[in-house]
A and B are shown apart, each in its own frame.
Chain A
Amino acid sequence: DSGVTQTPKHLITATGQRVTLRCSPRSGDLSVYWYQQSLDQGLQFLIQYYNGEERAKGNILERFSAQQFPDLHSELNLSSLELGDSALYFCASSSRQSATNEKLFFGSGTQLSVL
């Protein structure tokens, strides 16, 4: 167990809908990262937050947004969902701003299916 908790584990929804994925980092970790894993795109970095502030942005669509709350948990909001958004969404955490010298701890992911 990595200590990173993601809920829900599975999510099935319809096109055009909006969903929220939740992530609780390891106790004491200040950085939260979101990654998307799909069959065609592989693993892609979406966005990183550090202590409540956005620190880096990757291939995140405008329909997607995220935030990190004062208690350090993070939410990834996906709106106007399309079939192609179906993927496994990972959250990861680390204690430093950069994952260079610290292990990046991944959660078990949220499997999103858009029908």
Chain B
Amino acid sequence: AQTVTQSQPEMSVQEAETVTLSCTYDTSESDYYLFWYKQPPSRQMILVIRQEAYKQQNATENRFSVNFQKAAKSFSLKISDSQLGDAAMYFCASKPQGAQKLVFGQGTRLTINP
């Protein structure tokens, strides 16, 4: 079974600074996918970024990038130039190829200090 662990229940960062959220996972699958989702106070789950495990290149979406370390089973999210609108719960998730369900971590609450 897959497990996802987010060891930081809460993080805070100054506006315009950079913050990194940690995520580790455990899987016996060779092909899988990793995701970061954002849940703002509106409660909606929004996909921030995704990474295919077979790709060595780290995914990037504007100010959001990941550091994917396959051997270490680590998948951290870096947010550059933090903005007030980035304040939210962030969930790391994994999904084996061919499986239907996402397995989520417990989440990290990110606070942006003005």
Residues of A in contact with B (beta carbons under 8 Å apart): 2, 33, 35, 42-45, 48, 55-56, 58, 88, 90, 92, 97-100, 103-104, 106-109, 111
How many chain B residues have a CB neighbour from A under 8 Å?
21
Given contacts A106-B46, A111-B43, 13 further A-B contacts (CB under 8 A): A33-B101, A42-B104, A42-B105, A45-B102, A48-B100, A48-B101, A58-B101, A90-B45, A97-B100, A99-B95, A106-B44, A107-B44, A109-B43
State whether the Cβ of B20 lies closer than 8 Å to any Cβ in chain A.
no
User: How distant is A20 from chain B, measured CB to nearest CB, in Å?
Assistant: 20
Contact: A104 with B101, CB < 8 Å? no
State whether the Cβ of B47 lies closer than 8 Å to any Cβ in chain A.
yes
A16–B20 Cα gap in the complex (Å)? Answer: 44
Contact: B100 with A42, CB < 8 Å? no
A88–B98 Cα gap in the complex (Å)? Answer: 27
A111–B104 Cα gap in the complex (Å)? Answer: 19
Chain A to chain B contacts (Cβ below 8 Å), 10 pairs: A42-B104, A42-B105, A42-B106, A44-B104, A97-B100, A106-B44, A106-B46, A107-B44, A108-B44, A109-B43
A56–B91 Cα gap in the complex (Å)? Answer: 22
Chain A contact residues: helix, strand, loop or mixed: strand
Contacts of B33-76 to chain A: CB distance below 8 A: 33, 42-47
- CB contact between A92 and one of B45, B99, B105, B106 (< 8 Å): that residue: B45
- CB contact between B99 and one of A43, A56, A103, A106 (< 8 Å): that residue: A56
A99–B102 Cα gap in the complex (Å)? Answer: 9
Residues of B within 8 A of A88 (CB): 43
User: How distant is B22 from chain A, measured CB to nearest CB, in Å?
Assistant: 16
